[in-house]
Amino acid sequence: KAGVTQTPRYLIKTRGQQVTLSCSPISGHRSVSWYQQTPGQGLQFLFEYFSETQRNKGNFPGRFSGRQFSNSRSEMNVSTLELGDSALYLCASSLKGQETQYFGPGTRLLVL
Amino acid sequence: DAKTTQPPSMDCAEGRAANLPCNHSTISGNEYVYWYRQIHSQGPQYIIHGLKNNETNEMASLIITEDRKSSTLILPHATLRDTAVYYCIVRLPHGSSNTGKLIFGQGTTLQVKP
């Protein structure tokens, strides 16, 4: 089985712009979770989607949003980018959310 | 906040067993212990998980104490490619509404040396 894929792998944006990141889960997996990793804060949970519905949300501002499509692919969007949004964004998929999560390679976002 | 405590760093000689400890003294009876590792700038890789019994797979062994307040991940023959940050995570039980959420601590940086 193919693993979790994320696109793009690298991205450079400027402050004030918005960005959309994509995640394709393992085939058959319906839960997708997103995480942000920074040197200062480590790995932090952003949100989880299951069957096109947001089921859990971490402590991030409303500029961070996401969605899931009927084929379980998920996107996350960050609007009005700030320098502090520079991070590695990871997504993970699992069958329904309660099983083992498998991570993708991440998207490295640099905000200038 | 993470419910686990791990040493920030450890060294291990190549070919020897690496024993990574984790304390989870407030773990509930139905919470699982998961281990992941992250090699520099890659996505975390699942290693193993357990509830009460010791577990073994092709990558590692997981030893959970009888009172479940601590566990040890064992890499039986460490190689240079095992150099990574290892995360021990206590996960809410299956069926809980929050099971899609992993709470990561700072992990243990394992340096395998030749």
Structure tokens at B92: 């809410």
Q: What angle do CA A91, A93, A95 make, to 5 degrees?
A: 165
Determine whether the interchain pair B43/A101 forms a contact, defined as Cβ–Cβ distance below 8 Å: no
Predicted local confidence at residue B58, as pLDDT: 95
Give contacts of B100 with chain A, Cβ < 8 Å: 31, 33, 48, 50, 55-56, 94, 97-98, 101
Q: Dihedral sign, CA of B38, B39, B45, B51?
A: negative
User: For A89-105, what is each residue's pLDDT tens digit?
Assistant: 999 999 887 789 999 99
Asked if B32 reaches chain A (Cβ–Cβ under 8 Å), the answer is no
Determine whether the interchain pair B46/A108 forms a contact, defined as Cβ–Cβ distance below 8 Å: no
User: For B11-34, what is each residue's pLDDT tens digit?
Assistant: 999 999 999 999 999 998 888 999
pLDDT above 70 as % of chain A: 99
Which has the higher per-residue pLDDT, B92 or A45?
A45
Give yes or no for a contact between A104 and A5, defined as CB atoms under 8 angstroms apart: yes
Taking the CA of residue B56 and the nearest CA in chain A, the distance in Å comes to 16
Average model confidence (pLDDT) across chain B: 92
Taking the CA of residue A93 and the nearest CA in chain B, the distance in Å comes to 9
User: For A76-91, what is each residue's pLDDT tens digit?
Assistant: 999 999 999 999 999 9
Which residue is it, tokens 């995640």? A23
